[in-house]
Amino acid sequence: MKSIKQEILYKTNRTYEEFYEILEIIKKIITLVPIEEFENKINEAKGISPDPNDVIYFALALKLNCPIWSNDKKLKEQKEIKIYSTSELITSA
């Protein structure tokens, strides 16, 4: 099984150096939210998320009252959190 880093490298045709350069740029423009700020939403998210591996993202979306960007069609099986695919974001821009 590929790691997420390996999968990104494979799908984007980037080198390790490019990957880390881009990662540093991303770190400068995103805000990390400590789990303590949304851990009270985890139980609710467990009841919503169709995939146990995505519970944390659903908990954060509940806390921030925001949608999730994902191409995982399985996540659209629920109706509590709006899920946008990449193509939906491109066409709405």
Calculate mean pLDDT across residues 11-18: 91
What is the percent of the chain where pLDDT is above 70?
Answer: 98
pLDDT of the residue at 40: 98
62 vs 57: CA distance, rounded Å: 9
pTM above 0.95?
no
The lowest-confidence range among 4-13, 41-50, 65-74 is 4-13
Tell which wins on pLDDT, 93 or 61. 61
Calculate mean pLDDT across residues 19-44: 95
Q: Is the pLDDT of residue 54 over 80?
A: yes
Closest CA to 81 of 72, 33, 90, 37: 72
Burial status of residue 63 (CB atoms within 10 A of its CB: 0-12, 13-18, 19 or more): middle
